[in-house]
Every structure is written in C-alpha cells, then in structure tokens.
Structure 1
Amino acid sequence: MEQFIRLREQNGEVLTLPVTREPRPHSAERVLAAAGHQGVRENLHYDLELPGDWDCTGAGVSLNGKPLNSLWDSRRHMILFPYNIFAYHMGLVELEITLQKGEEPGEIWYTDLLPVLIQPSQQQENLKAMVEYIYAHQAPLLRDKAPEGTGPDSRNGFQDFLSQLTLAEEILQVYEESYGYFKANCRHTLETAEVVDWTEKVQTVSPHTLQYLVRHPEYLREAPFGIQVGDKHYLPEKLLMTQDKMSRDVYENQVVLSFLQRMLYDIGEEGKEIRALVQGLDLPEADREGYQLSSQVLYANAAHMLKGFLERCDEVEERLQEMFVSYRQILPVTLLDASQMPEPTEPFFRVPQYYRIYLCIHQWYQNTCRHFPRERMLLNLYENTFVFEIYCLARLLQGLRQEGFVLEECRRKVYTLGSRNLYDHSGYQNVYRLERGDEELTLFFQPVLTDQPEQGPGAIHLYRNTTYAFKPLEEGHYYTPDYLLRWKQGNRENYLILDAKYSYRKKVLQELMPEMSYKYLLSLSPVPYEEKGQPVEVAVRGLEILYGLTHGEQQLESFYNCQLPVKEIRPAANVIPFSEEVTEENQQENIRELLREVRG
C-alpha cells in the first residue's frame, strides 16, 4: 500500500508526497522526470506531517543526506522546523524521514526528487552565471572511473564521448585516402567457374561443354563450316566454359566494410540517446505563479551542450553513411558480425592500406565509451553554497593555469581517521597538481586536516593542534576547509587555507573571519619533515575567504584595516570577491595576489 506524507506551506497550501522504503537510484531519467513534479518554494517555511498510523515516538529528517534540526510534535504527529529548510537550495531536493521508537531508530522513508522553485532576482542571475562557468570548465573537475592517481589526460565521460567522435572523423579520413587503393588494387581471389559466354572465349572443351551444346540448340547459328546437319553447317554462338573470375569477397575486405557498418551503428545509437535526452529537457511550466524552476539553468546548459553534441554526431553519421555506400559499390562482399574485434590475418600487417585500417579498428574497439555519459551531464548542484564551492574551484584552477601553471595531475584522495572514512564520495576530483618551472602548486578540494601527522608521498604537512573549538560543544579532531593551496620550491613548502562563503563581504569580515581565523590560523600547525636528507621549511602563509554575494567589490581586501606602513602583518587574512560580477582582469589580479601570498 502506497504511503504519503504532507508538506505544509506557511501560506496554507499542502503538498502530498508519496514515499517509499527503498532509496531510488540516481539516474538521468529520474532527474529529468523530476522537472514535472510538485515544487517546493525556496523562500517559504514548511513543516512535515506524518501519517497518523505510523507507529513512532519521534522522527528525524535529512535533506539531500544532511540532517535537519527539527522538533517533534507528538500531538499533531508533525515534524516542525525552526527555519526555512529549502533556503539557499537549488535544483532538486530529496527528503529522508527516519522514524524513532524509543531510543532506537526505526523505519526510513524516502520522497522522490522535488524541484526547488525560486523568484527571479539579481542574486539568481549571478548564480546562473556561475553555473554556466562551471559547465564551461568542468572537464578537470569530474571524477572518472579510472584507477586512482591518473593524470588529466585520462579522459572523463565527456572527453571519451568527444574523443570517439574525433576518432570517427580520423577513421573517415583514412578510408577516404584509401579509397583509390581498394577500388583498383584490393585483395582478391581467382575462382574457377562454369559460365555461358561467347564461343571465341573458349580455351578448353570439356564433357560439360558438349553436353551444354546438345541441350541448347537455340545457340546454333548457320556457318560456312562446323557441325554438319544435312547439307548445312552450324556453329554455337555461346558455350558453357570454365573461366577464372576475380572475387573481392575475401576476409580482409569483409572486415574493412563490416567495420564501417559497425561504426555507423555505434554513432547512430549514440545519436538516439542524445535525442531522447534533448526531448526530456523540454521542460513544462518554466514559470509557476511568479516562481521559476531553479534547475532551469542546469537543464538549459545541459540542453545547449547536448544540441552541440547531437549536431556533430549527425555530421559524422552522415559522412559514415556516404562512405559505407561508396565502399559497398567497390567491395561487393559478405558482411561479418562486427560485434567483436576481428582476428588479424597476415595481410593486415603486411599491406600498408590494410594495416592502417586495422589500426583504426583496434582503436575503435579499445575505446570503451559506447554511450553518452548522461548522469554526468546533469551535475548534482543542489545547494547555492555547493554551486559556489564548485565555481570557486573551477575559477581557481583556470586562474592558476592562466598564470602559466600546467595541470599535471588530477585525482581523488581518500581521507581516513582510524577506520572511519572522512571524505564525501562526490563525483569530483579533490587533488590538482600544477607545475611551472621549478615551482609546484597543489590545490586540495575539501581536504581533511586531522590531529595526526599525515604520512606518505604528497602528504599534507599540517595538523590540527587542539581539540578545542571556537563554539562550545563543537570540539573535534579534524577540520575540513574548502580548499588548501600548497606551494613548493626547493626546500620550502608554504600553505594558504581558502574557504568559500556564499555571503556578503561585511558579514564575512565581521562575523565569519574570527571563527575562520581561530580554526585555520590558531588551530593548525606545520609538520616538519625531511626530503632527500634535507629539512623542509613548512609554513602557513595565511587565510583567504572567497565570498560570492558581491555588490560591485572587485579586489582582495585585508582583514587588517589598521596596518602600520612598516611591515606586512603575517599570517595574511584576506577576503576576495568571487563571482561573475567581478571582471576577468580583476579575477586574474586576485589570483596573482594569492600566488604572492603563498610564495611569501
């Protein structure tokens, strides 16, 4: 029997939502279907009413996997929230309700994905611009399924798909260049066959020839000499004879043509997948009583990307179709089952034209991407704050590369404390190593800094030096800043701690900077170590807070607004505007300031 819960809006409206005991898998189809579901408004307050027949003494709620603060109203069987639970969320949300019986947690119920509705504003336009930037620079961010530690040249889902189209175009070029050879000089065999042909072509007479002559008198014509019948002579106009006939229906040619058919099938299937996704992105009711789908920008960027892929896919498919028809005319051969890599024969290694074709075949079958990466096309950007974190990551990487640093490695690092895994398994890389000359920069995304020294190559040489916290009851053993920038040159190793706050400059300076300074400047210390028998000088150079709600601010600003002109205060404590409202010139100037700070 299907179960339902009710979300009660502050204006009196009620959303009745079906719930299930099993979490639904995250898929592109589910994300697309969610656009047509009932939406929750980002700026309204909600409480949650549970069915009266649910046997529980309390309940807790998580939103997209994060627990929410709530109060249990046993009289009304409701979960009350002291704040607006959907504030600062975008895209899609999912509620998870955990029932309690006494001290033990009981059943868990899950809603489907709910679209978040927002009212248009300048803030949302800024957020939209951030998402567009993420889409344009997402390639090094997304985590591949390849083994850990692979470099940036290991392709992600989109790169695999695009590289397959590029490979198809390169293969078409090889086929175009080889067409003349296969038309005039391709491999063939001579087959002896009995054919009926003009008499002058007879080379030998066999018993079959004479039998055919006797059975087909219609070919006899009067002649001055020949077979005498009465007082007349006859000669056959045509006879059955044996001839050597050239056949191109050999294994190597079968492989050449069958592979073109296989490519045509693969590209066609990918085109079908993309078309289905484009149709799914035709969203209903973009405007709902003054509210808009916050996921509209995600879908719009995905649709733009898909249409570009589809256009190129169609072009490749059309060229493949033309090439297949052309080769079919010069190679009238039996088509093979091309579902598996064909076995090579000696001509594929000896004859240059066949060798080039076989190399193309090998590359195609080695390319494991056979479907468009649908799940990765729809990025899981659920919260404004998380959008901002990913935006800052993309901006930092791009800015460092524009300063001449080359991205040498991007990978995912797993952090542990004892037997506990401390890292959220998201779809993003979290370590990016860049080099320029003898300088090495490493940008860590959401690193975990514990009270134990880290060991091994590439270790972070910082540790948490106290369990005390800035706020009571928040004591602990590790910190997780949003980013950590490490600069290394020779025997020097410097660190900058960076944190992203989707907030205003004044709030960051007055309210957030004191807590951040306690956590990342007072509570972190360098770990001395040796490299190749030489001591390495490790230092924390400062704290940089990146803020996203800008009102015309363009440049980095120091927390120390009463500095004497004698000497710079160390460690640094700065706030930096990070949004698409900041000009490209100022964005890059702020990156240069970061590099100056971390170099010391």
Structure 2
Amino acid sequence: MECRLILQTKLANDLNIILTETPENNTLLNSEICGIVYSDMEYEANILFDEEIQDVSIYVNDTLRECFYDNGKIYFKAIEFLGKRIFLNYFGYVTFTIIIKTTESTYEFYSNYLDVAVRDNISSNLIRKMTAYIAENSQKYLFKNDDRVKDFADVQKSKNKNIETEISILENILFEYESSFKYFKTDTKYNINSNYIVDDFEKLQEIKNETIQYIVSNPQHLITVNHNTGIVYNKLNLQPKKTLINKNKVSYNIYENQVVLGFLKYIYNSILNKIKDIESKQNKPNTYYIRSEYVSSANEIYKEINKSLDKYKAKLGEIKIKVQKFYFMYKQILKCEEIYINNIPKPSAIFTKIQHYRKIYKVIIDWFQSGNYNLQNEKIILTFSEASQIYEYYVLLKINNYLIKNNYYLKEANKFVYNLRSDSKYINTKFENTFIFEKEKIIITVYYQPVIYWNQVVNDIGLFRNNNISLDGGKAKYYTPDYVIKISEKDVSQFIILDAKWSTIDSVINYSFKDIIYKYAFSISTINSNDIIKKIWVANGKEIQNQDNYIYNFYNSSFRERNNEIIPSAKILTLNPNLDELIQRKVLNQLFSEIKKY
C-alpha cells in the first residue's frame, strides 16, 4: 500500500517522501536519507494515499505535532515561539511517523531519515562544541556494565568499556606477549608421548610390559644365540631379532600452547572485523544541495563521531600488524595447532602455576571481561535529535566532571526507572540518570530527570510534591525537574533543583523563570524536616550580544545583601562551551557554593 508525504515551504522546493509500513531503526549504519528539511522554515504538507482519509496524526521523532487535515492537505498548528516551524530546535536526523484513519481501518507509516539543515551561526557552533564534549565525556558516566566504574584516571582499572579501555587492554596484550616471548622460547611446556615401533633388538634400551607382550606374541622373531643370555627354551638360548621399542616423542601440541597461539589469531580476526565495522559506520558527508546559509546538522554530528573512529581505526591498524608479527613468532617456537577461542578458556595447572603462561592467561581474561568494545559510546550522539536535549546532557556532564575535579569519586552510576501511567508525557531516560559521588563524609547524588511524586518518594530522592495544583489550573501529581542535586552529610541533606534551557538569559527571565519558581519553590518540599532546598536555579545555554554578567538573581530588590541570603536562592547561570574556562568554573563554584572548590 503506497503512501506519500509532500512537505512544502515557501523558501525551498517541495520534498516528496515515500512512507513505508516498516519503521527505520538502524541509526548507526548509513541509512538512506530521503531529503533535507530546514529548521527555521514553516511547513505544510500534502498526503497521498489509496483510500479516503478521515484523519491524520503526525509525529516528528515520536513527538506529536498538532495539525488538522482537509482534503489531502495537512496544516500544522502554530505553537508559541515555534509557529509552524516544526523542525525548530531539532539537530541531526528526524523521522516521521504518520497514523492514518480511514472508514475501514487505521494505518501506521514511517519515513526514512531526514537531515535537518540549520543556520550556520553561533548557535549551531555551540551545538557542535557541546556534541564534541558529550562524545568525549559520556563514557565516564553512561553505559554502565556489570562492574561499576571506580577510577577514570586509569583505564586499565576501569571495567567501563570504551575505545580507550579497549586500546589499553590490547596494548597490554602486546606487552605481555612481547615480554614473555623469551620465557616461552626457553621454557615451553610439552608432553612426552610414548611411540612404540618394531625395530632391531640391539636398539632396545628399556624393557616394558609392552615389550614382553610383543615378544610372547611374536615367537617368529626369536633366533638362537651362542652366549648364555636371553630366553632359555629346550636348552637353547633364544633372543628376538626384532622387538617392540619405545621411542619417546616430545609434543608441544598441548592445550595451553594451543590457547596462547589461538588467542593471537582470535585477536587478529577480531581487529579485522572491527576495522570493517568502523568503515561501515563512518558517515560520508552528504552531497545533496543545501542552501548556502545553512549546514547539515547530521554532518556536524557525524564529524565528531568520525574523528573518534578515525583515531580508533588507525590505532587498531597499528596493533593488528604487531599481533600478526607475534603470531608467527609464537607459532615458530610453540610448534602446535591453535585452538579456536571465543570465550575465557578453562584454567589449568600450567596457566595458574607457570608465570609466563599465567600472564598470558590473565590478559585473555581481561579481554573477555572488559575489552571487545562495540562503539556503544558513539551511539549516544546519534540518539539526540533536539538541541535542548544536547544541552541537558552537556550540563549533566559538566556537573559530574566538576565534582570529579573537586576530588569526589563516582561511587555508583545507575539507571532508575520511574513508574507512571502509560498516558504520561514523561519518558524514562535511555541512559544512566542517578550518579552518586562521595568524598570523606559527604555524599552528592546527581539525579537527571527525576520524578518528584505527590504520593511517594523513590530512588532515595527525599523530595515530594506538596500539592496537585498546576499553573494552568489543572491537576497533576508529579514534577520532573531536569536535575536534583542532593548534598548529604551527617544525615542532613541540602538540595539544588536545576533546570536547563537552550535559551538566552532574557528569554528565561521573560518566559519561563517565574513558572519554574512557582513549581519548585512552592510545590516541592523535603521529606525530612531537617533537610532544606537551598537553590532553585536555571542554566541557560545561549548568550546575548555583549553579555558580561553570567549569573542573574531573581531577587532584585534594593536590599542587595539580603537578596543573596534568601533561601531558596533563585538564579540563572549562563553555561556553554564558548565561555572562558575561568568563567565556567566561577558559575559552577556559585552553583556548588555549599562544597569546597578546586
């Protein structure tokens, strides 16, 4: 069944999109791009379908866009600040999900990816820098494995899989194989195998049961001799002319040697496959036409991924050459077949007691427990589709890194799933959302997008919504600030509630700050009466021209000294990658004035 969506804007050519009944779900491989859309242009659409349409619902990246349908034409409703610019604030790729209702049935169709073109200006440059920051730092806090991250300064101590840890483990494998080679050369373990052959009796050096059995069973080889030795039979001295002789044979084809050699072959093949995988995942710049004042936001995202992948591929290539060299070196001295390895081999006495074998066995374990990275960290960048979401993760990672620089260590990084009704607007985060830092007797917990309930407290947050009255006069039972920072010492906690806005400081002041103050100052309380909400702040990402003040105090009375003493304090801080590092540190120092600074 064929369905087409035709996007129309006054400033660009119509875009004809073929819709399918199969959703596009492969974001990392180079999926087919079906066209360019412009973030700041207003759109309408036509839809072509075989049956008569009663109604249409349109989702852009799973977000419902209000529209009305009339005789094949789709009109998007103007939204405050957006108008009909349905792609405004998107960055990277977008897709459509379209639900069509007819008199007979309901159909669901999907588009391939569309590249969002954005203005080539300061704002898009900021997003590029934030994307690079997330790509560089996300592996420290996200993608938790079974083993918790303890030390990011030393990747060899970390069980968190990323490019750095894998390269570190591979280099350690090379080091152990290189340093152990001289020991394998002089002390390769082997088995002695008994090899019985029929040969001249004069060559017999040791009589074994097998020898006697052979002589008894083969009397035709007995001959008479003149001396009084041998076998006496009927007054004759007999001696075998031929007998069974044992010739011991040294065999290096033992299990441990097979593992030592087989692991090198496994690593070599793994690296080959990784390089092919990287090449398949690297994005080639889109070549379709984009208006001169715009840039492809998808290309901007992939630039950061490609930088990382280029370095990764080059390093793997260097390691592959060395692995191949060691394979032939070890094959020459071990003189064994290699065993196929795809998991940790069984331990043995040789692997546990002989030092050079033990070292090789250890790096094999390290690889299967912590190596074999699958580009998971790089995928996070492709999950972002809105500038506001990119800014939220940028602020989250800036907060976490600030605590690390203040000598707090990350004790836990977990993903907590908040339970809400299926029709709720809240969507649980894809990655970790609870980060517990510790230093001496102070514990700082950073919650990303927590749910503050009206009737329960979960995830040890310690806050509750104290009423169900919303600003618009409706009823609601939870709030979801972007961040809650809980600073605990001696059973007493101080809270910082923080939202992130991809806006200028003026926009936050004029349009959203008063709502945030009402929601969080008047509607959220601490469960423990000794705890206190110290701050309700907003981080904003966009600068205004000639901005020289990066913290704004909501309390602006003539009593300036008292304005800074009111609790909870209510301020806006500007934070983005274009700010000087010293300014960034100063605003974060003020946000975390309750703790010691670095």
Hey, what's the Cα distance between the residues in 2 that align with 1:359 and 1:54? 65
- 1:543-587 per-residue CA deviation (whole Å, 9 max, x = no partner) reads 111111113345322111224145322221101001112211111
Q: Residue 334 of structure 1 aligns with which residue?
A: 337
SS at match of 2:161: helix
- 1:297-333 per-residue CA deviation (whole Å, 9 max, x = no partner) reads 2100000000111122112211111111111111221
- 1:317-375 per-residue CA deviation (whole Å, 9 max, x = no partner) reads 11111111111111221232334544444333332322333333333344473644387
Hey, what's the Cα distance between the residues in 1 that align with 2:291 and 2:316? 39
**Residue from 250, 253, 264 that aligns with 2:254:** 250
Q: Residue 577 of structure 1 aligns with which residue?
A: 574
- 1:212-268 per-residue CA deviation (whole Å, 9 max, x = no partner) reads xxxxxxxxxxxxxxxxxxxxxxxxxxxxx9865543233332222222212222222
Cα–Cα, structure 1 residues 478 and 54, in superposed 2: closer, same or farther, change >3 Å? Answer: farther
Is contact 1:415–1:423 with CA below 8 Å preserved after alignment? no
Hey, what's the Cα distance between the residues in 2 that align with 1:259 and 1:146? 24
Matched, 1:465 2:487: no
Shift of 1:54: 3.4
Hey, what's the Cα distance between the residues in 2 that align with 1:157 and 1:170? 15
Hey, what's the Cα distance between the residues in 2 that align with 1:183 and 1:492? 63
Is contact 1:28–1:378 with CA below 8 Å preserved after alignment? no
Cα–Cα, structure 1 residues 246 and 336, in superposed 2: closer, same or farther, change >3 Å? Answer: same
Moved over 6 A (4+): 153-158, 192-195, 201-206, 418-422
SS at match of 1:557: strand
Cα–Cα, structure 1 residues 375 and 245, in superposed 2: closer, same or farther, change >3 Å? Answer: same
**Residue from 263, 266, 269 that aligns with 2:270:** 266
Q: Which runs of structure 2 are paired with 1:188-203 in the superposition (5 Å)?
A: 188-190=190-192
State the aligned residue count. 546
Q: Residue 479 of structure 1 aligns with which residue?
A: 479
Q: Residue 296 of structure 1 aligns with which residue?
A: 299
Q: Which runs of structure 2 are paired with 1:106-255 in the superposition (5 Å)?
A: 106-144=106-144, 146=146, 150=148, 159-190=161-192, 244-255=248-259
**Residue from 389, 393, 397 that aligns with 2:392:** 389
Hey, what's the Cα distance between the residues in 2 that align with 1:46 and 1:374? 34
Hey, what's the Cα distance between the residues in 2 that align with 1:86 and 1:177? 57
Q: Which runs of structure 2 are paired with 1:312-391 in the superposition (5 Å)?
A: 312-339=315-342, 341-367=344-370, 369=372, 371-373=374-376, 376=379, 378-391=381-394
RMSD between superposed Cα atoms in Å: 3.3
Is contact 1:28–1:374 with CA below 8 Å preserved after alignment? no
SS at match of 1:51: strand
Is contact 2:173–2:363 with CA below 8 Å preserved after alignment? yes
**Residue from 29, 37, 42 that aligns with 1:45:** 42
Q: Residue 75 of structure 1 aligns with which residue?
A: 71
Q: Residue 231 of structure 1 aligns with which residue?
A: none
**Residue from 422, 442, 446 that aligns with 1:439:** 442
Q: Is the deviation greater in 126-135 or in 365-374?
A: 365-374
Hey, what's the Cα distance between the residues in 2 that align with 1:424 and 1:333? 56
Matched, 1:402 2:400: no
- 1:104-126 per-residue CA deviation (whole Å, 9 max, x = no partner) reads 99322211111101221122112
Hey, what's the Cα distance between the residues in 1 that align with 2:273 and 2:160? 16
Q: TM-score, normalised by structure 1?
A: 0.82
SS at match of 1:37: strand
Hey, what's the Cα distance between the residues in 2 that align with 1:317 and 1:377? 27
Q: Residue 549 of structure 1 aligns with which residue?
A: 542
Unaligned runs of 5+ in 1: 207-240, 529-535
Q: Which runs of structure 2 are paired with 1:422-437 in the superposition (5 Å)?
A: 424-437=427-440
- 1:44-90 per-residue CA deviation (whole Å, 9 max, x = no partner) reads 11112122533332222111111112222x23443433221011111
Unaligned runs of 5+ in 2: 79-83, 212-244
Q: TM-score, normalised by structure 2?
A: 0.83
Cα–Cα, structure 1 residues 492 and 344, in superposed 2: closer, same or farther, change >3 Å? Answer: closer
Cα–Cα, structure 1 residues 180 and 90, in superposed 2: closer, same or farther, change >3 Å? Answer: same
Cα–Cα, structure 1 residues 345 and 53, in superposed 2: closer, same or farther, change >3 Å? Answer: closer
